[in-house]
Amino acid sequence: MAGKLARLAWIALWPVALAAQDPRLGRVDPSVRDSVAALADSARVEGLPANALIEKALEGTSKQARGPVILAAVRALAAELRSARSALGSSSTTAEVAAGAAALHSGARPTDLADLRLRRPAQSLLVPLGVLSDLVARGVPPDSASHAVLALASRAADEDYLAFRREVERDIALGAPPAAAAAVRLNASARQALTAHGQKP
């Protein structure tokens, strides 16, 4: 009886499975393909950017990584996407969730993401989250990078964030320690903001 029910369920759900299959997964190592597909399906059901998981698997495939390594990376990304969505809120866009996952991967904490959302409730967080990840990737300690991005959140436009990142990168390229570069540029930004409001720094 159970076998018959399972067969009936399979027949009934076959078109769904067929519709959900992503042809790009045909490139992925057969030993982990089904697991990656299952993770992507779960993400899709949860409203997470499943495409990011498929792209991660394809990256590993193109780089000729072994199946278990690919699967571990996809699993880790799925957890980060879930955590980012939880921290940023259900109204966040898929681009924000993906950027949030990258920030978590770089060392930011979920509370940093939640704080950023609180401080910029109606604005896109794509650029601030991207700058956060980039600063960490340039060597700025995650705590310092998060502090800088959160400190700018209430007054900075996307252009200000990008300018801040450029200046920090330039200072690092000139030999400044990454944490010091971020702190100095953050102070300079605060002074500029005070001056713009007619206050003495």
Partner 1 sequence: MSEHDRDLPDLIDRVARTLREPVATDGALDARIMARVLAAPAPAAGGAWWRWLRRPALSPLGAIGLAAILAGVLLAPRVRRTPAARPTLSEVQFVFVAPRASSVSVVGDFNDWNLAATPLARAGAAGVWSVSVPLEPGRYTYAFVVDGRRWAADPDAPRAAGDDFGTPNSVVLVRGAS
Q: Is 196 in the site for partner 1 (CB under 8 A)?
A: no
Which residue, 96 or 171, has its beta carbon nearer to partner 1?
96
User: Which of 78, 98, 113, 152 touches partner 1 by CB under 8 A?
Assistant: 98
Q: Is 129 in the site for partner 1 (CB under 8 A)?
A: yes
User: Which of 96, 117, 140, 178 touches partner 1 by CB under 8 A?
Assistant: 96
User: What is the residue-wise DSSP string for the chain?
Assistant: -HHHHHHHHHHHHHHHHHHH--GGGGGS-HHHHHHHHHHHHHHHHHT--HHHHHHHHHHHHHTT--HHHHHHHHHHHHHHHHHHHHHH-TT--HHHHHHHHHHHHHT--HHHHHHHHHHSTTS--HHHHHHHHHHHHTT--HHHHHHHHHHHHTT--HHHHHHHHHHHHHHHHTT--HHHHHHHHHHHHHHHHHHHTT---
Which residue, 108 or 186, has its beta carbon nearer to partner 1?
108
Buried residues in 77-92 as b, exposed as e (16+ CB within 10 A): bbebbbbbbebbeeeb
Q: Is 52 in the site for partner 1 (CB under 8 A)?
A: yes
User: The tokens of 104 are what?
Assistant: 């978590």
Q: How far is the CB of 163 from partner 1 (least distance, A)?
A: 13
Residues in contact with partner 1, shown as a per-residue x/- string from 28 to 47 under the rule CB under 8 A: ----------------x---
Q: Is 18 in the site for partner 1 (CB under 8 A)?
A: yes
Span from 30-38, 58-66, 113-121, 189-197 in contact with partner 1 (CB under 8 A) = 58-66
Q: Is 136 in the site for partner 1 (CB under 8 A)?
A: yes
Judged by the rule CB under 8 A, the positions of this chain that interact with partner 1 are 8, 11-16, 18-20, 24, 44, 52, 55-56, 58-63, 65, 69-70, 73, 76, 93, 95-96, 98-99, 102, 105-107, 124, 126-127, 129-131, 133-134, 136-138, 158, 162, 165, 169
